[in-house]
Structure 1
Amino acid sequence: GWTLFFWAFWLAWGPFVGVFLARISRGRTLREFIIAAITVPVICDFLIVTTFGNSALYEVLHGNTSFAEEAMESPEQGWYSLLEMFPGATFIIGLATLSGLLFYLTSANSGAMVMSTFSASIPDPAQDGPKWLRIFWALVTAVLTVAMLIAGGVSTMEHATLIFALPVTVIAYLVMMSFSKALRMERVQMDGVVQVQRGSSRERTWRQRLAGLRHYPDADEIRSFTADTVAPALDEVHTEFTRLGYDATLTCGEDAATSLPTWTLLVPLEHHRGFQYMVAPVTTPVPSFGGRRAQSQEDYLRLEVFDQTGTRGYDLNGLTTQQIVDDVIDRYEMHLSFLTESASTDTRSRLTPPVTPVAEPSLIKDEE
C-alpha cells in the first residue's frame, strides 16, 4: 500500500515540480540539473528517511506496541511521538515543525506559480503567471488541503493522491517518450552540424565582437536594424531560392511580447522536415558585469535565430547584410547534413517529421 501511495504521490507532484525546476534551471545543462536538482535532494531524503524510519522500526520491533498502534491510526501524531524519544526532543520537534511549514509553503508557492502559468496566456516565456492568479491557486490549494484533513486526515489525502495520479500516469509516460525522442533528435542534429565545415564569412570581426560586449540595443534600434539589414538579407536569399526553383516563402510577423517584427524564411523539402530560418527579438536581462550598463536599463533585446526546434542561441545584431546571408546558407547546409545523418541512423517518422512552421518565439517554452 505504501509503495503504491508513494508512486502515485511522485506522479501527482511530477508535472508541476518538473515545470518549476525547469523554470528555475534555465541555462543549466542536463548534467548540472540531474546533480543539483535530483541527486543531492535524493541523498538528503535518503539520509533523513533512513534515520527516522529505522528509528521507528526499531521501536516497533522491540515491543513498543503503543507507538506502533498510534503511528498506524494517526501518522502525524506518531511522527511527533517518535521525535519525543530523541535527545533534545523540544529542539527537534520545533525544527521539524518549522521544516514542515517551509516545505508546505515552498511547495504551495511553486505549485501556485506553475498553475498560474498553465492557466494564463503569457506572451513572454521569461515571465510567470500574474500574481493575482498565483494567489488564487494558493488559496484553492489551502482550502482543499484543509477540507481533506477535516474530512479524514492523512488517509483521505492519500486516497485523493491515488485518484489524482491515475490520469497523470499516462501523461508521464507520454512525456518520457517525447523527451527521449527530443534528445535523440538533438543528438542527430548535432551530428549533422559536425559534418559541415563552417566558413569564416559569418564570423564577427574582433571589433564587432568587442562592440557587442558593451552594447545593449533597445526596441527602436532592433526595429531599425531589422528593417535595414535583416529584411534585405533574407529577401536576397529568398529571391535566390525562388530563382533556383524552390518553393520558398518569406513572411513578416509580429512578436507578441515586444510588438517588434519577425521574419521567417521557409523552404519546404518534400517528404522531409523543411528548412526554417526565423529571426525574432528576445528580451534578455542586462548583465551586471563585463561592460557598460545604463542604470535605468534592466533588459535589452537580442535578434536570435530560430529553426524548427527553437532558438539557436546566438544574436544577429551588429552583423552585416552579407554575414547574415552567409549565416542563412550555413544553416541550410547544416539542415541538409542533419537530414542526411538522420536518414542513416533512424526512421523518417521519428527524426524527420513533415514541415510544420514553429510558433512565435514568445510562445516557445524553454526547452533547455
Structure 2
Amino acid sequence: EINMLGATFILIALLVMGPTLFLLNAFTENIGHYFQNIVNKTFQVYAYEGAKGEEWKASWTIFFWAWWVAWAPFVGLFIARISRGRTLREFVFGVMFIPLGFIFAWFSVFGNSAIELVNGGVAELGKTALENPAMGMFVLFEHYPAAALWSTLGVVIGLIFFVTSADSGALVLANLSSKNLASDTDAPVWLRFFWAAATGLVTLGLLFAGGFSSLQSVSVVAGLPFSLVLVLYMVSMAVCLRQEGNKRKAVQIDKALVLDSGQNWRNRLNRLVNFPTATAALRFMFKTLQPAMLEVAHELQAKGLDTELAEDKENRKIRLEVMHGDEVAFLYEVRLVEAVKPVFALGQAGNIAPGKDQEKYYRAEVFLSEGSQDYDIVGYTKEQVIIDILNQYERHMQFLHFER
C-alpha cells in the first residue's frame, strides 16, 4: 500500500508539473497504439531481420517472456493466497485490468515526459536512457522542481518493491516446501528466512559470476520448462471449473430443510433472532452437532462406506468425511466463526460506545470441500442437523453422477 500510494503520488506530481495537456493526449494515443499492435507484437519473432533480429529477440523478447514465466508461480500463488474468497471475475479484474490501467498511465506519463524533454533539446537525457537505463529516471527528475525529493522517493519505492517481491517469493517457496500445511496457515518464519537468504545468495552468485547476462540466461533456462507446467495449470483449471459447474448444477437439487416438521415455528423464529456467545455455540457443537454427525457416520459405515469423523477443539471445528474410492470424497465440516452482531440486537437503540467495537456473536457455519456455504446451524435440533447433512450428501451424490 505504501508502494502504490508513493508511486501514485510521483505519477500525479509529474503529470501536474510537466506538459499536462500533451501527456493526457499521449496517454489516450498510447492506449490506442497498444491495442492496435498487441496481436502483431505477440507473434513477432523477427524472422526477416537477420542476425540483428535474432540478437534482439534473444536479449529482450525471449528474456522478458522467460522472466514473467519464472515469476508466474510466485506471483500467481501469492495473489491467489490474498484473494481467497473472491470470485474469478473479481480476481481477473483486480489482477489484469487495474494494474494494466496503472501501467498505461505510468509509462505514458514518464515516457512522454522524457520524450518531450528530448524533443525540446535535452539530449543528455536520451543518451543516459540508452547507455545507463537505471539512471534515466533520476536524470528526468533533475528537470523538475524538488528533484532530490522525487529521486529519494523513487529509491525508497524501488527498494520496497524489491523487498516485497522477494518476501512474496520466499513465502510461496516456504509454503510449497512444507508438509501438512493447512490452506489457511503459512510456513514458519525461519523457513521463509531460509528461502529469502538462499534466493539472495544465488542471485548475488550469478551477478558476480557473469553479470546481468548470466542472470538473464538462468531466467530463460528456468522459464522454458516451467512454460510446460503452465499448460498443465491451465488444463487443471479447466477441469476444476468443469467440476464447479457440475457442483452448481447439483445444488439445484434442493431439498428444503424441515424444522420441527413445520410445527414448532417459535423455536425457528428464536433461532433466527438469537446471537449466541462462543460458549453457547460451542455447547451446541459438542452437545448436539457431534452426536448427530456420529449417528450419520455410523449409519454410513453400516452401509459399507469408509467414513471419518474428526473434531478439532483447538480450532473449534468438527469434520465428517465420506470416501468414495477414486471419486471425490464428501466433506461436511462445521466451524465456529466470529461475526458482528447486527445493530438492532445491540440494545439501547444500537448505540455503540466511542472507541469500542461492535459486539460479536458466533455462528456454526457449514463448510464443504469448496469452502463455506455461508449459513449458520446453531439452534438446530439433532434431527435437523442430520437432515442438513443428508441434504448436502444428496447434492454431492448428484455431483458425482454429473462427473461420471
Q: If the length of structure 2 is used for normalisation, what is the TM-score?
A: 0.65
Q: Hey, what does 1:335 align to over in structure 2? A: 396
Cα distance per residue 1:303-346 (max 9 Å; x no partner): 55454545545454442211111112211332243345x3xxxx
Report the AA paired with residue 229 of structure 1: T
Provide closer, same or farther for how the CA distance between residues 86 and 263 of structure 1 changes in structure 2, counting only shifts above 3 A. Answer: closer
Task: Kindly provide the amino acid, as one letter, of the partner of residue 210 in structure 1.
Answer: V
Aligned residue for 2:84, secondary structure, equals coil
- Paired residue for 1:21, among 38, 62, 79? 79
Pairwise mapping of residues 160-309 of structure 1 onto structure 2 (< 5 A)?
A: 160-201=218-259, 205-211=268-274, 213-217=275-279, 222=282, 225-238=284-297, 246-253=303-310, 255=312, 258=314, 262-266=318-322, 268=324, 273=327, 276-279=330-333, 281=335, 284=337, 305-309=366-370
TM-score, scaled to structure 1:
0.71
Which stretch of the first structure deviates more once superposed, 311-320 or 258-267?
258-267
Q: How much does 1:199 deviate?
A: 3.4
User: Letter of the aligned partner of 1:237 in structure 2?
Assistant: V
* SS of residue matched to 1:43: helix
Q: Is the 8 A contact 2:207 2:215 kept in 1?
A: yes
Cα distance between partner residues in 2 of 1:216 and 1:38: 41
Confirm or deny: 8 A CA contact 1:250 1:263 kept in the other structure. Answer: no
User: What is the CA deviation profile of residues 279-312 of structure 1, one whole-angstrom value per residue up to 9, with x for unaligned ones?
Assistant: 3546x566598688xx9xxx99875545454554
Relative distance call for 1:278 and 1:99 in structure 2 (3 A) is same
* Aligned counterparts of 1:16 and 1:300: Cα–Cα separation in 2: 37
The count of residues paired between Structure 1 and Structure 2 equals 331
Name the CA shift for 1:308/1:201 in 2 (closer, same or farther; >3 Å): same
Q: Which structure would you say has the larger RCO, counting Cα contacts within 8 Å and 6 or more residues apart?
A: 1
Match of 1:133 in 2: 191
Rounded to whole Å, the distance in 2 between the matches of 1:316 and 1:305 is 8
Q: Which of 42, 67, 74 lines up with 1:9 in the alignment? A: 67
- The 1:287–1:122 alpha-carbon spacing in structure 2 relative to 1, beyond 3 Å, is farther
Trace 1:24-63 onto structure 2 (pairs within 5 A): 24-53=82-111
Q: 1:161 to 1:78 in 2, by over 3 A?
A: farther
Equivalent position SS for 2:333: strand
Asked if structure 2 preserves the Cα contact closer than 8 Å seen for 1:260 and 1:281, the reply is yes
Task: Determine whether 1:110 maps to 2:168.
Answer: yes
For 1:87 and 1:189, the matched residues in 2 are separated by 60
Q: CA deviation at 1:72?
A: 5.3
Letter in 2 for 1:264: L
Measure the CA separation in 1 of the matches of 2:367 and 2:130: 56
Contact preservation (8 Å) 1:275, 1:307: no
User: Residues 117 and 128 of structure 1 are in contact (CA less than 8 Å); yes or no, is this contact kept in structure 2?
Assistant: yes
**What is the one-letter code of the residue matched to 1:105?**
V
Shift in alpha-carbon separation, 1:147–1:68, aligned structure 2, 3 A: farther
The percentage of aligned residue pairs carrying the same residue is 32
Q: CA RMSD in A?
A: 4.2
What is the distance in 2 between the residues matched to 1:215 and 1:24? 29
Deviation track 1:174-198 (CA, whole Å, cap 9, x = no partner) reads 1122122212211221122123243
CA contact 1:201–1:326 (8 Å) conserved in 2: no
CA, structure 1 residues 59+260, in 2 after alignment: closer, same or farther (shift >3 Å)?
A: closer
For structure 1, list consecutive stretches of 5 or more residues without a partner in the other structure: 343-350, 353-368
1-side partners of 2:76 and 2:193: how far apart?
Answer: 20
Which secondary structure state, in structure 2, belongs to the residue aligned with residue 276 of structure 1?
A: strand
Matched with 2:133 is: 75
Distance apart, 1:116 and its partner CA: 2.3
Identify the residue that residue 381 of structure 2 maps to in structure 1: 320
1:278 aligned partner, one-letter code: Y
- Which AA in structure 2 matches 1:112? A
What amino acid does structure 1 have at the position aligned with 2:219?
T
Question: Which residue identity is paired with 1:327?
Answer: D
Letter in 1 for 2:322: L
Higher helix share: 2
Paired with 2:166 and 2:328, the residues of 1 have a C-alpha distance of 43
Q: How far 1:277 sits from its partner (Å)?
A: 4.1
Distance 2:342 2:141 in 1: 48
Per-residue deviation, residues 95-120 of structure 1 (Å, max 9, x unmatched): 32222112112112222222222223
Q: Deviations over 1:147-199 (max 9, x none)?
A: 33434444333222222222321222211221222122112211221232433
Q: Secondary structure at the match of 2:314?
A: coil
